[in-house]
Structure 1
């Protein structure tokens, strides 16, 4: 009977220690979201868009006119779901390829002659993941001095194009 008492006391002590020392998730914790570097005001964005219109629109639209269009796209939009899904996909594929994804790069492009009448020779933008080749975890000193480079994961394209200036 003495042994049974010791076992029960041991279980009780183990349960108490587990309760106090094991991490728990609490649904009431408030998530803190910090403002990323590079966020500008709406006024600054409007000024940048107006500058594009002032210094680039004429040249870009004249190139579009050669293709029989009055204006070219000047913006691309993706749904929030598409962007979040792409970032998750790019992180996963980067990891499989042995890269640490650290950012994205957005490129301007132009659809070629084989893109079909609705897109032919028009501007597009696409998102590409960037990062560094993963280093061995056994290495105690990180001597990787290379900059972030494009990771060979399929880029995100096929956003909706727009011709209007900011905001729209």
Structure 2
């Protein structure tokens, strides 16, 4: 029974189990062992954390800004990157992750119709500058 304070829950279709997530993380760490150290000798990131508040703000921003520019925002693409050597102190050479909004021109219909496809919206700013969290973790579930 749904109360005033509760909502019905629809789970995302792409959830994975804790054990699968742990396996994927362990595989990544094992594959990168010895290669997961930057030129400065520090261990590189393999996990990036964003607060729920920041993610909610980002979703609101990309929907609003995309709509203002005539786009229908339909998703987020996550990219891995590496900061250049002349990046600010503490980041040079380190791995990062940024999220790019995706979508299509609103006036052309749904993606795939008439040759229209969902693509990165390069005029709407991506989100970056997450952290390793507090405390930082190098492997999931450990």
TM class by shorter chain equals 0.7 to 0.9
Q: How many residues align?
A: 134
Give the Cα separation in 2 of the matches to 1:74 and 1:36: 24
Q: Which consecutive segments of 4 or more residues in structure 1 shift more than 2 A?
A: 27-31, 56-61, 142-147
Cα deviation code 1:23-61 (max 9, x no counterpart): xxxx83852221101100111000000110111233232
RMSD (Å), alpha carbons: 2.1
Contact 1:72/1:163, CA 8 A, preserved across alignment? no
What is the rounded CA distance, in whole Å, between the counterparts of 1:129 and 1:51 in structure 2? 28
Q: SS where residue 116 of structure 2 aligns?
A: coil
Q: Please name the residue that 1:53 is paired with.
A: 29
Which residue in 1 is equivalent to 2:47?
75
The residue that corresponds to 1:165 in the other structure is 139
Contact preservation (8 Å) 1:109, 1:126: yes
Unaligned runs of 5+ in 1: 1-26
- What stretches of structure 2 of length at least 5 have no aligned partner? none
The TM-score, its normalising length taken from structure 2, stands at: 0.84
Once the two structures are superposed, what CA deviation does each residue of 1:88-144 show, in whole Å capped at 9, x if it has no partner?
00100000111100110111011112212211110000111111111268xxxx833
Between Structure 1 and Structure 2, the one with more helix by share is 1
